[in-house]
């Protein structure tokens, strides 16, 4: 198939195109799990006198304010019914943060293997959280030699996780440190989709659907396999697999109006993608891709596009290093309603994507360089936009429209 849309920013240099996503592809220095996982329950919000910013965009004047600082590489934010938040920190900590930024450490988190990009990663609430109290987490597990991606669920009782259940463990251990994927989203039918990265060391694994690496999985809420998964009955495909041929999806969202699944995915050196994830599809990595080899800067894989493999909807140029993806469903930002917001790590910005007939027709950059590396972007229940930044002193930010 032909690439449906590639928009070039008129001012970028070739060197930026080739700069790539190394920050979420090359191994980072190993990090140890902090010994004091049950530190004092209450902590100051550590806002460090952050002054709210008012910024102009194409359609809205916006205000960026910080709810909480002092978070060590926060990875995901979930919204609690009382107006507070759950925030993971990659070194293995789960925090409950109040609306005014006060932080409480939640104990009983599963043991995580913290190395490079691994650790405690996504956190989401069950769609019926008010009735059942389940929260879901992804994390890396193993040792200094090999790790795997896992999914677990638990409930919160006071300041402690209880009823902890491991629901899924990747079928094969790998060298630690890279490409865990790990975003969770819920579909209208009550099943969850989980992204699993290609794990970095052996990219061709993503073309083998008998391997969990480089896939999106579809699971029931209890971790069992739905009987209508696309490859059920095939001996050469693992039953959990929903789609495959992915490199490392770290942004994923479901459109509640259509049940369409959008995902942002890291390329190698360049080639960051927006994909529309459909059951049974092969998205090509590493046989087909838009990026370059880190060492040779030659075409990665056999071609930019191949028969039988799905091309991306959009290529982010210059490089974005995408992580976190939100769909704006309310009229809080009326001119942005229905748009996607894609966070960027290396690019330190949000890309606002206007979609028409599953094609990106406009792309605006927001908050460029104002708060740092964007790890997560979410639309809150109140219609505001919430952002996590990936730093040793990361923060939880809120974006409002200025009337």
Taking the C-alpha atoms of residue 117 and residue 112, their distance in angstroms, rounded to an integer, is: 12
Q: Return the structure tokens found at 303.
A: 């071609």
Taking the C-alpha atoms of residue 170 and residue 165, their distance in angstroms, rounded to an integer, is: 15
Cα separation values, 160 from 91, 109, 113, 157, 331, Å: 18, 8, 20, 5, 36
CB atoms within 10 A of CB 65: 15
Task: Identify the sign of the CA torsion 230, 236, 238, 243.
Answer: negative
C-alpha atoms less than 13 angstroms from C-alpha of 148 in its C-beta half-sphere: 13
Taking the C-alpha atoms of residue 47 and residue 54, their distance in angstroms, rounded to an integer, is: 17
Is residue 92 within 8 Å of 106, Cβ to Cβ? no
Active site residue 73: no
Taking the C-alpha atoms of residue 388 and residue 121, their distance in angstroms, rounded to an integer, is: 12
Catalytic member of 73, 126, 179, 266? 179
Is residue 225 within 8 Å of 190, Cβ to Cβ? no
Among residues 145, 197, 210, which one has the least CA distance to residue 173? Answer: 145
Q: Return the structure tokens found at 186.
A: 């819920």
Quote the DSSP letter at residue 318.
S
CA angle 376, 379, 384 (to 5 degrees): 115
Backbone phi, psi, residue 15, to 5°: -60, -30
Among residues 270, 271, 251, which one has the least CA distance to residue 197? Answer: 251
Burial class (CB in 10 A: 0-12, 13-18, 19+), 299: middle
CB atoms within 10 A of CB 206: 27
CB atoms within 10 A of CB 48: 10
> Which of the residues are catalytic?
179
């Amino acid at each position: 198939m032909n690439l449906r849309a590639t928009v070039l920013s008129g001012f970028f240099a070739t060197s930026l195109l080739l700069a790539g996503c190394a920050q979420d592809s090359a191994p980072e220095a190993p990090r140890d799990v902090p010994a004091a996982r049950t530190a004092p329950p209450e902590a100051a919000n550590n806002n460090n006198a952050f002054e709210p910013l008012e910024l102009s965009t194409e359609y809205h004047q916006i205000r960026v304010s910080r709810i909480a600082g002092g978070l060590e590489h926060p990875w995901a934010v979930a919204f609690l019914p009382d107006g507070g938040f759950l925030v993971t920190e990659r070194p293995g900590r789960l925090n409950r943060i109040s609306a005014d930024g006060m932080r409480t450490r939640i104990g009983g988190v599963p043991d995580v293997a913290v190395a490079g990009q691994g650790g405690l990663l996504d956190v989401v609430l069950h769609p019926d959280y008010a009735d059942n109290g389940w929260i879901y987490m992804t994390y890396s597990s193993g040792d200094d030699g090999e790790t795997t991606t896992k999914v677990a669920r638990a409930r919160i009782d006071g300041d402690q996780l209880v009823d902890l259940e491991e629901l899924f463990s990747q079928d094969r251990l790998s060298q630690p440190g890279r490409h865990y994927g790990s975003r969770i989203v819920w579909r209208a039918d009550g099943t969850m989709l989980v992204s699993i990265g290609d794990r970095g060391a052996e990219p061709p694994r993503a073309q083998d659907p008998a391997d969990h690496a480089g896939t999106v999985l579809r699971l029931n809420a209890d971790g069992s396999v739905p009987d209508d998964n696309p490859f059920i009955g095939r001996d050469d495909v693992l039953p959990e697999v929903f789609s495959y041929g992915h490199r490392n999806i770290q942004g994923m969202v479901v459109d509640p109006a259509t049940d369409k699944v959008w995902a942002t995915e890291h390329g190698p050196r360049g080639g960051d993608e927006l994909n529309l994830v459909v059951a049974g599809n092969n998205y090509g990595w590493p046989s087909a891709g838009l990026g370059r080899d880190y060492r040779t800067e030659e075409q990665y894989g056999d071609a930019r596009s191949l028969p039988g493999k799905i091309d991306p909807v959009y290529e982010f140029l210059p490089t974005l290093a995408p992580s976190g993806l939100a769909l704006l469903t309310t009229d809080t930002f009326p001119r942005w309603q229905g748009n996607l917001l894609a966070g960027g790590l290396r690019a330190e910005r949000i890309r606002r994507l206007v979609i028409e007939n599953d094609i990106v027709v406009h792309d605006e950059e927001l908050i460029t360089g104002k708060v740092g590396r964007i790890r997560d972007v979410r639309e809150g229940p109140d219609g505001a936009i919430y952002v996590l930044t990936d730093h040793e002193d990361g923060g939880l930010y809120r974006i409002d429209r200025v009337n």
